Structure 1
Amino acid sequence: MADKTQTRQVDAMGRVVIPKHLREQLALVDEPLLLKHQKNNRAVLVTKVTSRDVPEEHKVLDEQGRLLIPAELRHQYNWQQGEKIQVELDQDTIRLQGLHTRCSICGARESLLKIKDGFLCEPCLTTGNEKIAERWRLVLDELQNEYIEYCQKAVSFTDREDLHQARVKGRRLQMLLLFLGMKKDHKLLEKIQKAHRHLGKVRERDVLIEAFAKRAANEEKETHAAVFHQVKEIVDEKRRKEQRKLEKNLPQIINEKFERRWDAFISKELYRLVMPLEIENRIAEYEQTFTEAVTSYEEAAAEEGKTSKPALKALHEVRIQAKQLRYIYLYVSKIHSTVYESRAERYKQYQRQFGDINDIRDWLSKLKDSRKKIEAPAEEIKEVKDKLRAELEQSVSYIKW
């Protein structure tokens, strides 16, 4: 008996020759045939019509034993001219399946799912998802451990860098959880965001204190230096108040209960988030959000001016989106073994460029808020503001996309 499995090619008309011995064995000549789509195996099943009522969509072999495969199925399976098709007999059914339609890992021909240019069977896909979930777990656990460590160090206030790193780690943790699809009202995110606000109130003042101290030291005009120095002292006083709040509140937010909630998320929820995640599609969503933020800035800059309040606010949103994309590309590269360094570097440059602009905006805002407490002639304060505005105008003019 001839082999049950043979190989044929799709011709220019989308036809496949059914081997002669199969045609004779199943008596297919001039018989109406039904074609059934076997989705999981990405195959076509060919059977004879057994009922008296012949459906309109039936097929018949031509005189050379060729079977026309509907264009819809050929396109779905990407069976083009010259494609090698495996013709296999299973009792009274003929199965047509692409020669290379098998799991890329184990070679199985059943329960297949199309993955880019290849196929994976469901068992291998499940195993792969479990391994990817484990990679995510390792990265997230490491980041979370660092976050907790820096939060604990931050309230000792022995090194201001600890507070900065606690905020950085928390921001990255939030971003990755949202990227995975965690709901914004999830208790974990609420805790991290609450801690982030407390950390931010101190960290933002640390940045201002350092900036104003540096400006005061570098000013050639003593009266201008005095303005910067006084603003620094005003900010420092407010920082001490926020420091006391942080010292009291942070340990109540990032504590053992937070750690237990984290462990529950890792063991019960992480896999369900990772399994349906389509990395490229998810990244595309963030890229689209960045593009929309850029458009909003350009519209505000055109209507109100590049240094107007609406334009600077929109530019700050661009910076936030750039920062998120930078982190996404860095961590996705690490977890999924992809190379995104150039993309990450691109958004790092945006982040730096817009960060300088945002700093000047914050300096001007703090000068305005501190106006009544500054003991200096109005014209001196105005000169300082004018100087900062000129720097802002220059920085904005250098923006490049």
Structure 2
Amino acid sequence: MIRIDSIEAGRGSLPRRSAKQMSNERESYVLTMQEDTPELIEQWRDALDELYMEFRKRSRAALKDYDVEDVHQARVSARKLLTLLPVLDPDDESGLYRPIKKAQKRFGRVRDADVLIGEFKQLRQEAKEAGRGDESRLFKRMAKLEKEERRSQRKKLSAKLPKIVNGKLDRRWKTFLKEDLPELAARADVVGSVRELKDDYRKRRHVYQVTADRAGLYSDEALDALHQVRIAAKRCRYTAEAAAFALGDKQAEDAEHFKSVQKRLGEVNDRHVRIRIADDYGPEALGADEAGWTAFRERLDAQLKEALEEVGEL
């Protein structure tokens, strides 16, 4: 069963901090950052540029043959950049966030199709080996339809990505590292940003709990709210990992926790998405009779419930 416990469960509850304590924490952080500013700027530059170079390399490679791993890594590196940039540049004065976000969405649509095709192929094989021929044929049909969707998304990626990720963006990136980063890194409050992300995670976790109590654990509303918890956990994890040089051991421990949450909730989301895609296609498009469709949907629902029961502590 899902338990909505605090992140600090088993380690004691965190005491509520007064405004004065928070102010003192902030002053202490600023003083420390001022002392370590030159080294910190270089650490930020190294971390960000490594991600950007990976993003550009994978972007170019992905457009050549749409290699599954290149598409995946281009999306991941973009997502990590989108996690770190707001810490430094919350108002996007550099203008970098928007184009990278557009690219990330384009890669995401192709990546989602890649994942679903692989998943449907595996499920087809498992159903076939278990003697569930009707189910196997349904997954085969879903994989075929998803390939058509992927073909469309690949065409859009090829047409639109070069207009977003190009020499102009590279020049803007170099200017950012050289001219903007020193000041932004010196004044960035990484600890405060991580704290805000964790607060957002807790809020989304609470919204999920309330929604599940009101609409039902297996309702679309609750599952959508749970997906938002996963997204918040992912932001916490990526920020803590990518900015580890500016954080302490506590944040590293939290990153492992959020990684675990992300993985467990990812399984739930995958099964929920599987159901939605099946319902969107419907029995007619998938060539299923009433009995076969009913059995298929019941099995998908059971798999979703199984994943929810394995979620555990959030």
Asked if TM exceeds 0.5, the reply is: yes
Structure 2 equivalent of residue 140 of structure 1 = 48
Closer, same or farther in 2 for the Cα pair 1:328/1:119, shift >3 Å? closer
- How far, CA to CA, are the matches of 2:210 and 2:58 in structure 1? 40
1:311 is displaced (CA, Å) by 0.7
- Can you list the C-alpha shifts for 1:341-384, whole angstroms capped at 9, x where unaligned? 32111111100000000000110111011114211213212211
1:128 is displaced (CA, Å) by 2.4
Structure 2 equivalent of residue 170 of structure 1 = 78
- How far, CA to CA, are the matches of 1:350 and 1:197 in structure 2? 23
1:259 is displaced (CA, Å) by 0.3
- How far, CA to CA, are the matches of 1:277 and 1:183 in structure 2? 12
Structure 1 equivalent of residue 238 of structure 2 = 327
Structure 2 equivalent of residue 297 of structure 1 = 208
Structure 2 equivalent of residue 179 of structure 1 = 87
Equivalent residue of 2:248, what SS?
A: coil
Q: Is the Cα–Cα contact under 8 Å of residues 152 and 251 in structure 1 kept in the other structure?
A: no
- How far, CA to CA, are the matches of 2:255 and 2:36 in structure 1? 26
Identity %: 29
Q: Is the Cα–Cα contact under 8 Å of residues 329 and 344 in structure 1 kept in the other structure?
A: yes
The correspondence for 2:246, drawn from 313, 336, 351, is 336
- Can you list the C-alpha shifts for 1:32-61, whole angstroms capped at 9, x where unaligned? xxxxxxxxxxxxxxxxxxxxxxxxxxxxxx
1:358 matched to 2:283: no
1:188 is displaced (CA, Å) by 1.1
1:368 matched to 2:274: no
Structure 2 equivalent of residue 225 of structure 1 = 136
Closer, same or farther in 2 for the Cα pair 1:176/1:114, shift >3 Å? closer
The correspondence for 1:154, drawn from 31, 47, 62, is 62
1:115 matched to 2:28: yes
1:238 matched to 2:146: no
Q: Is the Cα–Cα contact under 8 Å of residues 182 and 273 in structure 1 kept in the other structure?
A: no
Equivalent residue of 1:345, what SS?
A: helix
Spell out the pairing of 1:52-71 with structure 2 (5 A cutoff): none
Q: Is the Cα–Cα contact under 8 Å of residues 54 and 77 in structure 2 kept in the other structure?
A: yes
4+ residue stretches of structure 1 with deviation over 6 A? none
- How far, CA to CA, are the matches of 1:177 and 1:244 in structure 2? 29
Q: Which amino acid aligns with 2:290?
A: A
Aligned residue pairs total 284
- How far, CA to CA, are the matches of 1:362 and 1:114 in structure 2? 46
- How far, CA to CA, are the matches of 2:164 and 2:294 in structure 1? 43
Equivalent residue of 1:400, what SS?
A: coil
Spell out the pairing of 1:1-400 with structure 2 (5 A cutoff): 115=28, 126=34, 128-157=36-65, 159-183=67-91, 187-219=95-127, 220=130, 221-333=132-244, 335-336=245-246, 338-339=248-249, 340-371=251-282, 372-400=284-312
Equivalent residue of 1:187, what SS?
A: coil
TM-score, length basis structure 2: 0.85
1:299 is displaced (CA, Å) by 0.4
Closer, same or farther in 2 for the Cα pair 1:208/1:119, shift >3 Å? closer
1:291 is displaced (CA, Å) by 0.3
- How far, CA to CA, are the matches of 1:192 and 1:114 in structure 2? 33
- Can you list the C-alpha shifts for 1:374-401, whole angstroms capped at 9, x where unaligned? 1121321221111111111122123222
Greater share of residues in strand: 1
Unaligned runs of 5+ in 2: 1-23
- How far, CA to CA, are the matches of 1:390 and 1:114 in structure 2? 53
1:265 is displaced (CA, Å) by 1.3
Q: Which has the higher contact order (CA 8 A, sep 6+)?
A: 2
Q: Is the Cα–Cα contact under 8 Å of residues 191 and 247 in structure 2 kept in the other structure?
A: no
- How far, CA to CA, are the matches of 2:31 and 2:151 in structure 1? 60
Closer, same or farther in 2 for the Cα pair 1:299/1:217, shift >3 Å? same
Give the root-mean-square deviation of aligned CA atoms. Answer: 2.1
